[in-house]
Amino acid sequence: MSINSFVAELTSCKCTQALLYVAVVVGVYKLTLFSLSTISLVADLFILPSTNWSKYGAKKGNWAVITGASDGIGKEYATQLAGRGFNVVLVSRTQSKLELIAEELESKYKIQTKIVAFDASTDKEANYQLLASSIEGLPVTILINNVGQSHSIPVPFLETTDKELRDIVTINNTATLKITQTVTPSIVKTVETSKKQVRGLILTMGSFGGLLPTPYLATYSGSKAFLQAWSAALAGELKPSNIDVELVISYLVTSAMSKIRRSSASIPTPKAFVKSVLNSVGRRGGAQDRFATMTPYWAHALMHFGIENTVGVYSKVANTLNLGMHKSIRTRALKKALRKKEQ
């Protein structure tokens, strides 16, 4: 039976028939988009080959700048980029930790390192001047914006301390923007000097907390949502300069920030997570509907894609579920703190 015959059998009203034709066209369009997105998701996660890092200047004496490099995900970015043949500039707060990591990377991978120690929460101009002088003259092609801070435990916005609020916004937003302003001119110069034979790359760490508005993590959630809009805008600006800009969205990873020590299918180690990022730069993974954005780890990608294509990230359902989960986490954290205090 043809569509015309089917519609004619349903109703003889011309207006209703017209509406039915529109519904069919819209339905076919939506189904086609969903099918293509699903195919792209599977290809990104499980089929396409790993990123070829030679386009970013691997093993050619080029440098990568990594912030928050002394622990967890940042340390893994430094380690795995060094393993791909990049010299690395390690930026973090603790000088002694940076020195140990630098020595380890130089010995294991036979690359060069530089360390820049500063506390991003202070937002002192001297920090950025020190970073600028440290990379002066270096052929930098990569910046990893990994430095970040969340709340110590989930907390109502009206009870968030002034220090925690300011530290989160300063570290996640102000410091990230100013570090990017400091480092990107060196990337632009390197790409131009190479006559665009190599590309530049800026990766910024996002979060499910920014993807979904998250009650009881309101300040952190807002700071990460800001990075989504900023990073996408920057991607448009720098594309003509042969510099790729991407926001990297993750769910939980075992780290000091998440306070989770045991990994699982949905909570990878920093090593596994960073491997998924570096293997899939340039692909969207679970972020099929977003420009200049990637959700690379397979479990996180499936979660992101599923939420986006069912209840939606801005829906009341998602918000309510998020609220309940973080209220529960806060209750358990407060009980644990009370037990420790009574011991």
Sheet holding 140-145, edge to edge: 113-117, 87-92, 63-67, 140-145, 200-205, 243-248, 293-294
Helix (DSSP H) and strand (DSSP E) numbers for the chain = 12, 7
Contact 246, 294 (CB under 8 A): yes
Instruction: Look up 220 and say whether it is catalytic.
Output: yes
Q: How many whole angstroms separate alpha carbon 318 and alpha carbon 309?
A: 12
DSSP 71: S
Is 207 annotated in some ligand binding site?
Answer: yes
Backbone angles phi, psi at 44, to 5 degrees: -60, -45
Nearest 5 degrees, angle CA 5-CA 10-CA 16? 105
Contact 141, 57 (CB under 8 A): yes
Contact 301, 42 (CB under 8 A): no
Q: How many CB atoms lie within 10 A of CB 189?
A: 15
Among the options 220, 251, 297, 314, which is catalytic?
Answer: 220
Unique residue bearing structure tokens 């909570």: 267
Binding region? 207
Annotated binding site for substrate: 207
Give the residue numbers marked as catalytic: 220
